[in-house]
Amino acid sequence: MSAIVLLDGGMGQELIARSRRPASPLWSAQVMLDEPDIVTEVHRSYVEAGVAVITLNAYSATPERLARDAREDLFEPLQARAIEAAKAAAGKSGVRIGGCLSPLFGSYHPEGAPSYEVCLETYRRIVDCQSAAVDLFILETLSSVKEVKAAVTAARESGKSVICGMSVQDQDGLKLRSGEPLSKGVAAAVQAGTDAVAINCSWPEAVTQGMPILRESGLPCGGWANAFVQADKLSLGGTVDGLTVRNDLSVTTYADHVMGWIERGATIVGGCCEVGPSHIAEIHHRLTKAGHTISGTLQ
């Protein structure tokens, strides 16, 4: 049996479900401004579900998004609030905290990303805010080789472990959302010094399809998928309440996918958008029943 790094599930969709306010282009960051206690509540739900790692709620708190949808000067206060919420939820549980590096302008649209040099500069700024408070860095939904290279480079400079999560096309798990081969994304991540590679915020079937490419890296690998019908329909600056949720990914069905990834060699698993605490609790149950151990450290 294996030691499995069990990550948390989606944050943004859980916040929208629990919030009394309408969805915002700032997504999860808006809740930290209006209803910060809900962020801590969601983190705690994942801790209670049995995760080994929770991820900072900083996905949409990038300087570029804030400049477009609110005010850029909210960057450091929101990063601080994300850290505070995660620490409050983790408490003395032993759960580790993962820093968060995400697409700078928005998910699923790598064509909106700035140059490599600008990406690197911004990712370094985010790492500088988070590094003292986190145990490792989790890179999420990176959709082009350029983003992968810049984010991994910045995260590695912290001296912390790095899990590089890439988003692939739902209908073709061998291609990043940019159209570039997943293999090139994996190679760029390895060259930049990542400690692990993964596919995230894509259909679970696409994660399964891409798993052999991840395995070829020789590094720990895995995935955390979403449950959207078609995530790339989200426009830059749009709100996620317009996306349709799949009706064929129940708690048990999603766990079936995850256990399939583990059979294919995955040692890092969790969930993304529309995969909540109940899904993670079921995965935890399946893992322990199968004799796996839950770990927050890459093996």
State residue 183's pLDDT score.
98
CA atoms within 13 A on the CB side of 165: 30
Domains and CATH numbers, the chain: 3-295 (3.20.20.330)
Closest CA to 299 of 191, 211, 189, 219: 219
* 268-271 vs 172-176, strand pairing mode: unpaired
- Reading the block at residue 203, the tokens are 């259909």
Residue reference for tokens 């998910």: 107
Cα(79)–Cα(74) distance, integer angstroms: 8
Residue reference for tokens 């799949």: 246
Please identify every stretch of the chain with a pLDDT value under 70, giving residue numbers as ranges.
22-28, 229-243
State residue 228's pLDDT score.
79
- Reading the block at residue 262, the tokens are 């583990």
State residue 13's pLDDT score.
82
Closest CA to 43 of 59, 55, 31: 55
State residue 195's pLDDT score.
98
Bridge partner list, 4: 294
Residue 270 phi, psi dihedral angles, 5° rounding = 180, -150
Closest CA to 151 of 133, 169, 163, 134: 163
State residue 157's pLDDT score.
98
State residue 35's pLDDT score.
84
Amino acid (one-letter) located at 202: S
State residue 291's pLDDT score.
97
pTM of the model: 0.94
Diameter over CA atoms, the chain: 49
User: In terms of residues, how long is the chain?
Assistant: 299
Residue reference for tokens 């081969």: 181
* 172-176 vs 168-169, strand pairing mode: antiparallel
Bridge partner list, 98: 55, 136
- Cα 62 to its chain centre, rounded Å, is 14
